[in-house]
């Protein structure tokens, strides 16, 4: 039973990492066409929604990429942390 729980923890960790990478790519694909090389100006939009981010989301709705939402980053982070806890707190079989 513990082996299955640890395996589930590993899956959650992998999903969390994948979600983080996907959120980063989504953020970059959405804001890079709007800001060009100064995409770092939108770094706050990566983890929170500010007034400037909302304006960017409104302007960016014209493009092919859906407006970025930091919820994807936070959900991925929670999945990763739950995976770490599930994996780490499950006793290893000896």
Distance CA 91, CA 1 (A): 10
* DSSP secondary structure code for residue 63 in this structure: S
Rounded to two decimals, the pTM is 0.80
The residue ranking higher by pLDDT, 72 or 92, is 72
Here the tokens at position 24 are 């980063």
Surface-to-core class of residue 40, CB atoms within 10 Å of its CB (0-12 exposed, 13-18 middle, 19+ buried): exposed
**Cα torsion for 43, 46, 49, 52, to the nearest 10°?**
30
Whether 54 has a pLDDT exceeding 90, the answer reads no
Mean pLDDT, residues 51-61 taken together: 71
Task: Quote the pLDDT of residue 59.
Answer: 67
Q: Are 8 and 85 in contact (CB under 8 A)?
A: no
Q: Hey, where are the domains in the chain?
A: 2-89
Across all residues in the chain, what is the average pLDDT?
Answer: 85
């Amino acid at each position: 039973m513990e082996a299955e729980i640890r395996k589930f923890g590993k899956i959650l960790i992998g999903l969390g990492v994948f979600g983080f990478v996907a959120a980063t790519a989504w953020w970059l694909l959405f804001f890079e066409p709007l800001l060009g090389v100064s995409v770092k100006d939108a770094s706050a939009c990566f983890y929170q929604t500010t007034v400037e981010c909302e304006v960017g989301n409104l302007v960016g709705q014209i493009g092919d990429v859906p407006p970025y939402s930091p919820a994807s980053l936070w959900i991925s982070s929670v999945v990763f942390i739950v995976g770490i806890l599930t994996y780490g707190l499950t006793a290893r079989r000896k």
